[in-house]
Homo-oligomer: A and B are copies of this chain.
């Protein structure tokens, strides 16, 4: 049996404490499973005197994570501090340069500095493992970086943010407003006091940027991701989606197209009978499509101290078992610059909800604008009644009160949709901002 692997663990929040407790209680079991001792040597956090419910007396204490990261006493630096700058970044960088393997759950750090850290790690011949950074306890990094390594991957998509999925699930199940569900999510601890990072889609984008890099072999480029959050989704959209055979999910999608890799985060209509539509509440799910495997789907807890700690421990065990894998799958020098596909070239079906004063001629005018862009309509719903396109538009009775007109298009382009909607808006028939939700073929 080799010398024990000595860990320095920085950050003693929920995940850090869960990981620490598990490491301490499983010392013998992990030694047996890895043929190597795994020992927590040191910990670092801001406040030494806080009662965390764990006996830290046998462990070296560092107030400065950088000092711990460079200590001769550790082999692996486990970063659970969080944040894309400051202590987390400094300590990770220092650890790598000191020849320590790094394990991190920090998607923001990787989204911002992942390319550079990967290069640095390769120069210093150490690993960066980050299973916990995407989709918590679901082994999706391992799936792409190891299990599907011989696949030509064509699309990766998923529900990567439990807060958003919780809100959308409650809105649908209980007919509640976005605001009411957000409030509940905050009360239950599923959403932050300032929830914008989750509900605007940034958190999903960070995770997607990592998955996309691993899947397609390009540099991480979170800033180029097309981003729409869920704040504009109304109960009317949820109900109309349901009526039309869809559910609305905040998806992160990275997809190979003829013009480059699409990376997009937006509310998405997914077919009711698709696997992804069944993912409720705070659960996460990721689907990966490749030439050999067709599609695999992984679902499970995307957050939570214990589930995230499970992923952190798996990363530690991998190092103890000798696994050497480039942080981003390929050597960092071979990663291609991210070549974004233009969003206006995006192809797909669309859900469009227009609030109109339903006077004679309005529908004809709207239909005409769609036709000018060669957009075919699959179905039309006004209020709660559903009308198929083949029915005559006169069936939609005139009414001076604003009504919601919902259109589902066949496959078209983002450019055509945007052009048509601009024309419709400038025609003056709509009395509120049009709602546009992309439909994903699954």
Which A residues have a C-beta under 8 Å from some C-beta of B? 18, 22, 26, 30, 32-33, 35, 131, 137-139, 142-143, 146-151, 273, 275, 278, 290-301, 304, 306-307, 309-311, 313-314, 317-318, 321-326, 329-331, 334
Contacts and interface: CB of A to CB of B under 8 A. Distances in A.
A290 B309 CA distance: 13
A146 B138 CA distance: 12
A146 B314 contact: yes
Among the interface residues A138, A290, A293, A294, which one has the most CB atoms of the partner chain B within 10 A?
A293
Nearest to A33: B149
B294 A297 contact: no
Given A294-B301, A298-B296, A298-B298, A30 B150 contact: yes
A32 B330 contact: yes
Nearest to A290: B310
A contact face: mostly helix, strand, loop, or mixed: mixed
Given A137-B293, A296-B301, A321-B323, 5 more contacts: A30-B150, A33-B329, A35-B324, A273-B278, A292-B306
A222 B351 CA distance: 52
Nearest to A22: B150
Contacts of A150: 22, 26, 30, 309-310, 313-314, 317
Given A278-B275, A329-B33, A292 B318 contact: no
Given A292-B306, A292-B307, A293-B306, A32 B331 contact: yes
B33 A314 contact: no
A22 B137 CA distance: 31
Contacts of A275: 275, 278, 299
Contact of A143 (B139, B317, B323): B139
Among the interface residues A33, A314, A331, which one has the most CB atoms of the partner chain B within 10 A?
A33
